[in-house]
Amino acid sequence: MGKRKERAVVLKQARIAPDIYDMWIDTALAVEAKPGQFINIYPKDKSTLLPRPISICEVDREKNRLRIVYRRAGKGTGEFSDYKEGESIDILGTLGNGFPLEKAKGKKCFLMGGGIGIPPILQLAKELQTAGSEEVNIVAGYRNSDLFLSEDLKQYGRLFVATEDGSAGSKGNVMNAIEENGLKGEVIFACGPMPMLRAIKKFAEENEIEAYISLEERMACGVGACLGCVCKTVHKDEHSQVNNARICTDGPVFDAKEVEI
């Protein structure tokens, strides 16, 4: 159906951790949403010019509902956190390419999420149950013991937790949790901050594991027009003939071997 702008409705919203909000939205976009994709939400405050890209956390295609879990970090997301049940919002979606589920068939999978990169891992874990993956290990990295979405994630794979302060699970990051628990895998799907993704890329190369990483980046248009969210790649873009890709349209998910981060 392609991307389109739509008036959606907030079904419910709750604060689930400090500055972390959980919102369900009624929208026809749910029918085509894939794990790893995102939507743009347009603030009602017209002084806030740009839409905010937010990853899709969970999908209910039968009821036309999308779930987003996001961090309140500035003016735009601050406005979103005040939305109430029944409120109308303008969204654009679905955007991005999503995770390649076909790569999981018959393989032991690592799903890695760090911080606000954890939400898109939930829908991915759900869909891997029917994608023919042999085993799903979910490794989630948090700052502290506010383990948002951990109970949801446990439903769809073995969950291993790392916290920066050591208050839950392994002390450190997702790589520390993998080492401490002796985890093995054949393909990695990951989303999180750049230092985490760099470590995963290095780990995948050293262990000859396939890795697909979702790059978090500030975006302006979300549709590839402004070139505000480019990343370096090993291949030249066929249009510009430079080693760049647009995260919002060519990604946000890339084969880790294809990007320089």
Q: Are 91 and 70 in contact (CB under 8 A)?
A: no
State the number of CA atoms in the 13 A half-sphere of 129 facing the CB: 12
Q: Which of 50-54, 82-86, 172-176, 250-254 has the lowest mean pLDDT?
A: 250-254
pLDDT in tens, 127-155: 998 888 999 999 999 999 999 999 999 99
- Residue that the structure tokens 């018959």 belong to: 106
Q: Max alpha carbon distance in the chain (Å)?
A: 51
pTM of the model: 0.90
Q: Retrieve residue 253's tokens.
A: 């998910």
233 pLDDT above the threshold of 70: no
Q: Are 58 and 42 in contact (CB under 8 A)?
A: no
Domains for the chain: give ranges and CATH numbers.
4-95 (2.40.30.10), 101-216 (3.40.50.80)
| pLDDT grade for 260, boundaries at 50, 70 and 90 | confident
Q: Are 198 and 261 in contact (CB under 8 A)?
A: yes
pLDDT in tens, 2-59: 689 999 999 999 999 999 999 999 999 999 999 999 999 999 998 887 889 999 999 9
- Residue that the structure tokens 């604060």 belong to: 15
Q: According to the 3-state scheme, what is the secondary structure of 63-84? A: CCEEEEEEECCCHHHHHHCCCC
* Closest to 29 (Cα-Cα) out of 52, 51, 10, 6: 6
